[in-house]
Amino acid sequence: MRTILVGSDHAGFELKNVLKDVLTARGLQVIDVGCDSETSCDYPLFAQDVARRLTSGEASMGVLVCGTGIGMSISANRFRGIRAALCTSEFHARMSRAHNDANVLVLGGRVTGSGLAKAILEAWLDTPFEGDRHKRRVDQIDAM
């Protein structure tokens, strides 16, 4: 069973819970690192937790949600081996997986509706990494 880490701040809490339902309906094991309410909290802490757990091998992928997705993606991408992609469309989601082997999907809870967010998540999960010339480029990114 594939394991997915999920995390959010207060602004992404509601959407995170919607996405957890999609993940569990697909038979994936979900580890929720928080937050646990809409009480104001700091997004970098949750991005850090997902990134560290992901790089330690606890899961194969992660999903992060904050208000816009920008703060979470900046924070997560500070960690070696993390390729967090802020996706606002299904096309972005497919390309982030196919060409960039993104291992963290980032969404904005205040800017992306739940219907679109579900479609983005499904596209992201269903798209394999193409490898080949893209692997060379991902290796170059990971070597930075």
Residue 88: CATH number of its domain: 3.40.1400.10
Mean of pLDDT over the chain: 97
pLDDT digits (tens, 9 = 90+) for 60-89: 999 999 999 999 999 999 999 999 999 999
- Closest C-alpha to 101, from 132, 64, 131: 131
For residue 48, give its domain range. Answer: 3-143
144 pLDDT more than 90: no
Does residue 15 contact residue 43 with C-beta atoms inside 8 Å? no
Q: Domain total for the chain?
A: 1
State the Cα–Cα distance between residues 113 and 4, nearest whole angstrom: 21
Average pLDDT of the residues in 104-119: 98
Distances (CA, A) of 58 to 20, 24, 46, 48, 124: 17, 17, 15, 14, 20
Question: What percentage of the chain reaches a pLDDT higher than 90?
Answer: 96
pLDDT digits (tens, 9 = 90+) for 18-52: 999 999 999 999 999 999 999 999 999 999 999 99
Split at pLDDT 50, 70, 90, the class of 1 is confident
What are the residue numbers of the active site? 66, 99
State the Cα–Cα distance between residues 98 and 95, nearest whole angstrom: 5
Whether the pTM exceeds 0.95: the reply is yes
Q: Give the per-residue pLDDT at 142.
A: 87
Angle at 38 between CA 41 and CA 3, to 5 degrees: 80
Residues 6+ apart with CB under 8 A from 135: 101, 129
